[in-house]
């Protein structure tokens, strides 16, 4: 299949670019995040006419919510344009979303049948994006992911290591819980879904995926420090990581129930701890040595 990747220069996009082409099963057509900042609807039509994709993978929204200074309002209008255009063409569409669509008040992992109820600006943006696509695109495949981490920024993982590198104290709390997932694992899951869609699997529905082992933010940060502290750059990270309270005192649980994707696509979860070393090493390669 010809697959159009929107947001090819994001951390998720980079992992998809590294994973899919070597398999030689599909042609991957790349569009950077900057190139998706369309100024008018006809620019969307031109892109889709030129690329003529069999399937579109949209990594824009799930990446933009990690940008600390992102202006998300214009992105909703752009999503409206692409939703209307894709809806008329009838193209298959995979939208990457996030556990942030949930407020986090449940004590159990969130299922696909649970109504999105986020109150944060980022969460509301993702809910609106999902709804815009669902209103116009059929078939639509929505993949909600746990908290995404990568050694390639921007993102909370890179910001945490930035703080350690500067010698700043990092406060974290296990009152924040999620299912972390490395971008390489996102690429594996998305590639598996694409492969099965290409041979007849239903290209529609909403599914959840997060790596095995939901965890608190402080426990996750401890795992990062345990590996990173062996490098001189992060030699003081153990002392800099502190268990924080205050603003994070309220319990927030965005862990995801990933049963449906296993049953439908046979995708097994891998532990998030398996990817800590890779993420830290990539950060050092890209930022620390420079």
Two structure tokens written together for 202: 């239903």
pLDDT digits (tens, 9 = 90+) for 101-135: 999 999 999 999 999 999 999 999 999 999 999 99
Q: How far is CA 107 from CA 213, 255, 279, in A?
A: 15, 9, 29
pTM above 0.85, yes or no: yes
Residue-level pLDDT at 66: 86
Q: What's the whole-number mean pLDDT along residues 267-279?
A: 97
Predicted pLDDT at 290? 46
Query: Which residues make Cβ contacts (< 8 Å) with residue 161, sequence separation at least 6?
Result: 151, 224, 228, 234, 280, 283, 287, 288
Say which CATH class 2-150+181-212+256-270 falls into.
Answer: alpha beta
- Given pLDDT bands bounded at 50, 70 and 90, which one contains residue 244? confident
Q: Residue ranges per domain, the chain?
A: 2-150+181-212+256-270
Q: Which secondary-structure segment (H or E) carries 178? A: strand 176-178
**Residue (of 72, 67, 91, 106) closest to 4 by Cα position:** 91
């Amino acid at each position: 299949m010809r697959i159009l990747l929107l947001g090819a220069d994001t951390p998720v996009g980079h992992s998809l670019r590294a994973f899919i082409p070597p398999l030689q099963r599909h042609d991957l057509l790349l569009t950077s995040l900057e190139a998706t900042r369309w100024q008018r609807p006809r620019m969307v039509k031109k892109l889709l006419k030129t690329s003529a994709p069999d399937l579109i993978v949209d990594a824009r929204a799930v990446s933009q919510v990690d940008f600390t200074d992102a202006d998300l309002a214009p992105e909703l209008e752009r999503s409206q344009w692409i939703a209307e255009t894709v809806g008329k063409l009838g193209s298959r569409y995979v939208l990457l979303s996030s556990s942030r669509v949930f407020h986090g008040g449940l004590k159990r992992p969130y299922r696909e049948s649970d109504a999105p109820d986020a109150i944060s600006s980022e969460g509301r943006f993702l809910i609106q994006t999902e709804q815009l696509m669902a209103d116009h695109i059929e078939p639509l495949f929505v993949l909600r992911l746990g908290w995404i981490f990568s050694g390639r920024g921007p993102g909370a993982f890179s910001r945490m290591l930035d703080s350690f590198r500067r010698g700043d104290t990092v406060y974290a709390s296990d009152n924040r819980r999620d299912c972390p997932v490395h971008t390489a694992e996102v690429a594996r899951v998305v590639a598996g879904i694409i492969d099965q869609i290409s041979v007849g699997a239903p290209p529609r529905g909403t599914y959840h995926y997060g790596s095995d082992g939901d965890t608190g933010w402080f426990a996750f940060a401890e795992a990062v420090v345990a590996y990173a502290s062996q490098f001189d750059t992060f030699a003081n990270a153990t002392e800099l990581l502190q268990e924080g309270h205050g603003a994070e005192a309220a319990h927030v649980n965005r862990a995801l129930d990933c049963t449906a994707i296993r049953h439908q696509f046979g995708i097994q979860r891998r532990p998030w701890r398996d990817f800590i070393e890779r993420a830290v090493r990539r950060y050092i390669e890209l930022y620390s040595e420079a």
